[in-house]
Each structure stands twice: as structure tokens, then as C-alpha cells.
Amino acid sequence: MLEITPATVIQVVFLAREGAPAEAELRDFIAGLNEDEKAQLTAVAWVGRGAFEPEEFDEAVATAMAEATTPTEDYLMGMPHLAENLEAGLDALGIDVTAEEEDLL
């Protein structure tokens, strides 16, 4: 079950899309999340890139917690297509990405 707010995930999407100009802000934003939020954010990205199915979300969160060996911000910022993976993950989990993005604009 998704416990991180969709707005938090969308904020990461926006910052990731900005690229280099927002890199420090993105790093600080992810670093400021609690451990549960970091694991959930990673799990959303994994679902979005197809490493886990939406119904395996809880397993993805547990795996993210168990296998966290580097700072989450470093791991996620090194992920190709982070913004797209997060959007696809939210969509796969049944969250209306467009509505969430409009709420933040």
C-alpha cells in the first residue's frame, strides 16, 4: 500500500525533469525523506520500470529497505529515466498522475 504521498513523488518527478539546475535541490529533497518514504519512492520507481508488478509493491518496499546500501538520493539520481519511472509507477499503482501534477502547478 502506498504510504508516501503522490505529491511527494510528483515533486521528485518535477525536480528530476529539471536536470542539472535542480540537482542539489533534488538530492536534498530525497535525503530529507524518512526511511519509509525513501523505500516507498524506490519501490514506485521499480514498479514503473517493470522490476516489480504493482501487486508486488509491498515486496518492492521490503526489498528497498533490505538492500539499501547507498544513500537513496545517490541511487535514484543515478537511475536512467527516473521521472518517467516514477510517473509510470504511480500510474501502475492506480494514481492519476496528471491530476497530481496539476495540483502542484
Alpha carbon 17 to its chain centroid, in Å, reads 13
Q: How many domains does the chain have?
A: 1
Indicate whether 34 belongs to any domain.
yes
Residue-wise pLDDT for 19-50, tens only, equals: 888 999 999 999 999 999 999 999 999 999 99
Indicate whether 103 belongs to any domain.
no
Task: Tell the burial category of 13 from Cβ atoms under 10 Å away from its Cβ (0-12, 13-18, 19+).
Answer: buried
Indicate whether 104 belongs to any domain.
no
Using 50, 70 and 90 to split pLDDT, how confident is the model at 97? Answer: confident
pTM, entire model: 0.94
Report DSSP state, residue 70: S
Domain that holds residue 23: 6-98
Indicate whether 60 belongs to any domain.
yes
Indicate whether 18 belongs to any domain.
yes
Indicate whether 1 belongs to any domain.
no
